[in-house]
Amino acid sequence: MMQPKRTKYRKQFRGSIRSNAQSGFRLAFGDYGIKSLGEGWFTAAQIEAARRTIANFTKRGGKIWIRVFPDKPITKKAPGSTMGAGKGDVDTYVAVIKKGKILFELGGIEDELALQALDRASNKIPFPTKIVKKD
């Protein structure tokens, strides 16, 4: 799983996602990409599942760029614990995704194969997405 090596603060507030992506909304490396049409949290496990789907479908051909990194810690309290007694322990890490953010890029393989691989990977993503192509 992807997670930061170290962080300045162990726990963070939840925050809010209200705007469109201000950076990372254009293809920068590959010929094809998955672009977010919604917003939400993209967990490290979901990122890994989508990456594995692309890698397996393309038979590890071409190059995959992961444009997001899960750097926000999400805490969770134990089931059955009562209210109070402080914030829970860090459970997982997530990437905060805004509308328009490019999540994955793919290059160096045929058009048909790339589109099918990205379509399968988009099923693993918890918000609406679309496949974009370099102009």
Please count the structural domains in the chain. 1
Distance CA 112, CA 18 (A): 35
pLDDT at 72: 97
Distance CA 64, CA 83 (A): 44
CATH of the domain at 63: 3.90.1170.10
Structural domain contains residue 120: yes
Tell me the residue range of the domain where 97 lies: 32-77+89-133
> Of 117, 112, 115, 105, nearest to 59 (Cα)?
117
pLDDT at 86: 92
pLDDT band at 113 (very low <50, low <70, confident <90, very high): very high
Is the confidence at residue 69, as pLDDT, over 90?
yes
Q: What is the dihedral of CA 39, 43, 46, 50, to 10 degrees?
A: 70
Structural domain contains residue 16: no
Is the confidence at residue 122, as pLDDT, over 90?
yes
Structural domain contains residue 26: no
What value, to the nearest 5°, has the Cα angle with vertex 98 and ends 15 and 72?
45
Structural domain contains residue 39: yes
pLDDT at 1: 83
